[in-house]
A and B are shown apart, each in its own frame.
Chain A
Amino acid sequence: MKYVALVYYQESIINAMTEQEWHDLNQECVAGVERLTSQGNYVTGQPLQPVDTATTVRVRNGELLVTDGPFAETKEQLAGFYLLEARDLNEALQLAGRIPPARFGSIEVRPVRELPPKD
């Protein structure tokens, strides 16, 4: 099964990090992706720029509405995602638990839904 692991943390924690801590965290993530890839669990993934770069789009009555910022203000912000291939939820949870920001943020694990075939 495929699962998405959504990585959330308080950006303030990251902002308070020293250069060295931030560098080490990134290297740890690089090593994590390498391990997931070698195990065949990694499909894709991407860290994201901070939430102050977010722009939200909605279409209402056929009109495109653009607003600055994320769709909702939350205590923890979306910081990236992984698309994982796992046997079942238990394996997905084990893999998510090893994503470095799990130690100070939260990882939401969701199974993917496949779109139905084209009519």
Chain B
Amino acid sequence: MTSHQYDLGQLYQQQSRRVLATLIRLLGDFALAEEAMQEAFAAAVRQWPGEGVPDNPVAWLIRAGHRKGIDQIRRKQTAQHYSYLVATPDDPVVDTDDPSIEDDQLRLLFTCCHPGLSMDARVAMTLREMCGLTTEQVASALLQKPATLAQRIVRAKKKIRDAGIPYEVPDAKQLPERLPGVLQVIYLVFNEGYSRSEGESVVDVSLSAEAIRLAGALTQLLPQGEVFGLLALMLLHDSRRPARQDASGELITLEDQDRTLWNEASIRQGLQSLEHALASTPMGIYTLQASIAAVHARAARAEDTDWARIVRLYDALYRRQPSPVIALNRAAAVAMRDTPADGLALLEQLTSHKEILGYHLFHAARADLHRRAGNRASAISAYQRALALATQGPERRFLERRLKELDSAS
């Protein structure tokens, strides 16, 4: 009996999303499917200890959930929006080898990430429905009130139903338009965990891990170049987590990190995923960014970094996505390849973009290059501007530390 309960807990962890994804398709309604899925697991807790574990537990759970959902529909038959569903056969034969069951998880992901939903709603829906976090977990991970988040999820589900957002994987023609939106949500979840927009701790393990797990699952379901590229990018960034902060939580720059602390397993997996990504052309934005991260990962010491290669990769990235932030990173790489003055000249050109002047990392980059070039006064004023714009505790303390170093150097 105990062993059955243990199995079920694990089964719930591993398979509840698969069961849910298929039930949403069979029942046509998120809330109903969620309820039916919970009831199916509850039935398993009651029945399996006596009757034994079925040969195909997932198929059993889907069948049980489907039956319970249909019962529910029959009870609510007056409700208009379910009426078209009641034609479904009583006891469908669920074949878990059926490719549509694998596709159900993709359907769920593409529905949660539909561009008709706000970005906040997409992130919340993905974490709640796809990753299976509770509303409370999602709320705390996103630093929001549970009530706000619950309402956002209810609204998103209402729009999915009322606006007719379909439960489907886009066809080959629409997939190239829709996939970037899904990858963007996953990367946002990763970054939300990797570097907080506000607050003290820079690193929240769980959100980054969820994003990596999600991208890993997506490489199985949709093995496309950019999916591998995104997974590689996240793994390679995540590999630096143990070296990114010192014992007191202070930020350590890439240059000063103890590279022996980098997580070798993550680097290995990241490089492997990058290889898959590079097999498809042309390289997308995630694959290019992962390639840049890979140059760092391959350099045993900061001074071994192949900056010329990094500049070339930023050139390619800028051609795909001409944003001032990419130009900023490129300028920093040029400074490392050539001289700080060359980097500063490129940064000056960027000041025509108004938005970049409000971006703390722009001023931090200028400050860093002035510091390297020995322009103490310019470095100090740029650090001060960066500090005035930075909101995150560890970033602010890093900038303050740099300022103090420059002060004491006088």
Contact = CB atoms under 8 A, between A and B. Distances in A.
Q: Is the interface of B mostly helix, strand, loop or mixed?
A: loop
B30 to A, nearest CB: 15
Contacts of B170: 90
B163 A90 contact: no
Interface residues of B, number: 10
A92 B162 CA distance: 13
A25 interface: no
Interface in A80-113: 86-90, 92-94, 110-111
B50 interface: no
Contacts of A1: 164
A109 to B, nearest CB: 8
A31 to B, nearest CB: 21
A35 B71 CA distance: 43
A90 B162 contact: no
B180 interface: no
Contacts of B163: 89, 110-111
A88 B116 CA distance: 12
B155 to A, nearest CB: 15
B209 interface: no
B174 interface: yes
Contacts, number: 26
Contacts of A92: 164
A89 to B, nearest CB: 5
B162 to A, nearest CB: 6
Contacts of B116: 89, 93
Interface string B383-397: 000000000000000
B146 interface: no
A47 B170 CA distance: 32
B166 interface: yes
Contacts of A90: 165-166, 168, 170, 174
Contacts of B162: 111
Given A1-B164, A88-B164, 11 more contacts: A3-B164, A88-B165, A88-B166, A88-B168, A89-B164, A89-B165, A90-B165, A90-B168, A90-B174, A92-B164, A93-B116
Which 9 residue pairs spanning A and B have beta carbons closest together?
A88-B166, A88-B164, A89-B164, A1-B164, A89-B165, A89-B163, A111-B163, A90-B166, A111-B164
